[in-house]
Amino acid sequence: MEEINKKKLESMLYLLDDTDDRVVQHIESQIMELGAGAIPLIEARCTLEENPNRLDRMLSLIKRIQQQKLADELSRWMKTDEQDLLDGLLIINQLKDASVSRQSIDILLDKIKLDAWLELNYDLTSFEKVKILNHIFFDLHKFKGDTDSYHHSDNSFISSVLERKTGNPISLSIIYSLVAQRLNIPIYGVNLPQHFILGYVKDFDWPPLLMFNDPSAAGNEQGGDILFYINPFNSGLIFNHDNIHKFLKQLKLEPKEDYFKVCNNTDIVLRVLRNLEVSYAREKKSNKLAQVKVLIRTLLAED
């Protein structure tokens, strides 16, 4: 930001205490247009501000700019052709830690991938491949479901789950599937009500595998039928279609077709945000909850 812009921003911040609400609204809209680049200077001014009314408005502006920044990033992500899952998750991860890079997450995922690759033989059956993945994921790397603090917000952030090796059903499923896909094993998310799981899709000749979750490329069949299902929250338990029917019957839900098919990356990101919405409400983190609601509205509007 150039010096003249800094002075202009400082002048606008001073006017936030104007008695005319229309002036304040106009100034706030101008500051909002400056985007995230204005945040460091606003934060610096906050440390010096003695006027409580002006300080409140500056803090509110910081929150709104941050919300808009993530919403804009999510909107751009939705408009990309591939809607890369990890990119979407990293946008959400900024709510926890904006300093986490894709490279740092890739390194952690590739470490798990390498350990599995050393054990895999592509002449193995699908069940044998999953057995090896389960051993690497749960026995070697010690991932497990968080049964003690199931609804904690940390369970929805990929950086936190990779660090703690503990997560909820969808976060564990995401990491498991990302590793599997990097090994060219067709395992993808299934958006089951109240419990996110994975499906092992029948082998198919359709490169590139990582584009599987792109509906425009996959077609109506979403890449083919599912051989069996995997529950990473329960140490990679394998089960079949009948088990899902029984699960839905317990919930008194009709067995919709979508409950038995893999979902796309937008569905996964939305579900992560829905989980965060519940977590932040329970944790009474109103600012974070407001940010999540903005992201959900953005995703639904773009979908």
Q: Are 212 and 188 in contact (CB under 8 A)?
A: yes
- The C-alpha angle 254, 199, 223, rounded to 5 degrees, equals 95
DSSP state of 202: P
| Six-digit token string for 212 | 């599987």
The pLDDT profile of the chain, 303 residues, written as one tens digit per residue, is 444 377 888 888 888 888 888 888 888 888 888 877 788 888 888 988 888 888 988 888 888 888 888 999 999 999 998 899 999 999 999 999 988 999 999 999 999 999 999 999 878 899 999 999 999 999 999 999 999 999 999 999 999 999 999 999 999 999 999 999 999 999 999 999 889 999 999 865 444 444 444 444 333 344 348 889 999 999 999 998 888 888 888 888 888 888 888 999 999 999 999 999 999 999 999 989 999 999 999 999 876
Report pLDDT for 303. Answer: 67
Report pLDDT for 204. Answer: 52
Report pLDDT for 146. Answer: 96
Helices 169-182 and 85-93 pack at an angle, to 10 degrees, of 140
| Six-digit token string for 68 | 């808009």
Q: What are the structural domain ranges in the chain?
A: 3-78, 85-302
- In CATH terms, 3-78 corresponds, of 1.10.760, 1.10.510, 1.25.10, 2.60.220, to 1.25.10
- In this prediction the pTM is 0.83
Q: Which residue has the tokens 């773009």?
A: 302
| Six-digit token string for 294 | 């903005």
> What is d(CA 187, CA 230) in angstroms, rounded to the nearest whole number?
9
Report pLDDT for 43. Answer: 87
Neighbouring residues of 185: CB distance < 8 A, sequence distance ≥ 6: 129, 133, 200
Report pLDDT for 34. Answer: 82
**193: alpha, beta or left? (left if phi > 0; alpha if psi -120 to 50):** beta
